[in-house]
Structure formats: structure tokens, C-alpha cells
């Protein structure tokens, strides 16, 4: 997973938000966040196999051991994990329908993650 992939997913999330596809927007925010963290985890530990984990909390813990996050970032990452898992593995095949306000929370969360990556991890 590369940082460029994360940037691509983040841009796609914003585009889907602007288009009004909030379901896809939320999913792409989560995918971008996971990919940002995986790209940093791979820099921290080149033996880290990014294909072996889709647990954003686990990958975030690897990153946060080296780069201290702000207190508000952990609840954001937990929320991303919950909805990322639900969108990948919906219960009974049903997905909740997300509205603009809900998707905006994920856009804002993604922006907080990007700010952390750029300022604390010094990745741009």
C-alpha cells in the first residue's frame, strides 16, 4: 500500500461526497485512512505485510507507537473501523443508508487523519 494510493482514495471520497454518493464516500474515507496508516506502518517496519490486516485499529497502533497521535484521533479511528467493517461485511446483506451529515463526519475525520500523517509522521 502506498501513500499515493491513499491520496487517490481520499480524493475519490471527496468526489463521491460532492456527487452525493454518501455510501461510497464513507467507504472510501475508511479505505483512505487504512491505506495512509498502512503506508506509514510499512515505512516503520518494512517486514509489515499490508495484505495481512484490514484492522485499522491494529495498523493505527503500530503507527501511534512511533508517532504520538492527538487524543481526538483514537475515537475517529475506532469509528472508521466500525463502519469499514460493516460496509465490507454487512449483516444479512443490509447496509445502512448514509446521509450528507453522516458522510461529512467521515470527511472531517479523514482530514484529521491526513493532518496527523502530514504533521506528526512527516509524510507528504
* Structural domain spans, the chain: 3-119
* pLDDT tens per residue across span 42-80: 888 888 777 777 788 999 999 999 998 888 899 999 999
CA distance 3 to 11: 12
C-alpha angle 24-59-39 in degrees, rounded to nearest 5: 75
In this prediction, what percent of the chain has a pLDDT beyond 90?
A: 49
CATH number of 3-119: 1.20.120.330
Q: Are 114 and 10 in contact (CB under 8 A)?
A: yes
CA distance 68 to 57: 14
CA distance 26 to 51: 21
- What number of other Cβ atoms are within 10 A of residue 118's Cβ? 12
pLDDT of residue 116: 93
Amino acid at each position: 500500500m502506498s501513500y499515493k494510493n491513499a491520496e487517490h482514495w481520499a480524493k475519490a471520497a471527496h468526489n463521491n461526497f460532492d456527487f452525493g454518493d454518501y455510501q461510497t464516500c464513507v467507504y472510501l474515507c475508511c479505505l483512505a485512512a487504512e491505506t495512509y496508516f498502512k503506508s506509514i506502518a510499512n515505512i516503520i517496519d518494512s517486514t509489515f505485510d499490508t495484505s495481512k490486516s484490514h484492522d485499522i485499529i491494529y495498523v493505527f497502533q503500530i503507527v501511534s507507537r512511533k508517532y504520538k497521535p492527538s487524543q481526538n484521533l483514537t475515537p475517529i479511528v475506532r469509528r472508521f473501523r466500525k463502519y469499514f467493517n460493516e460496509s465490507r461485511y454487512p449483516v444479512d446483506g443490509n447496509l445502512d443508508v448514509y446521509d450528507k451529515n453522516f458522510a461529512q463526519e467521515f470527511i472531517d475525520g479523514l482530514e484529521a487523519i491526513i493532518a496527523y500523517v502530514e504533521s506528526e509522521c512527516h509524510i507528504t
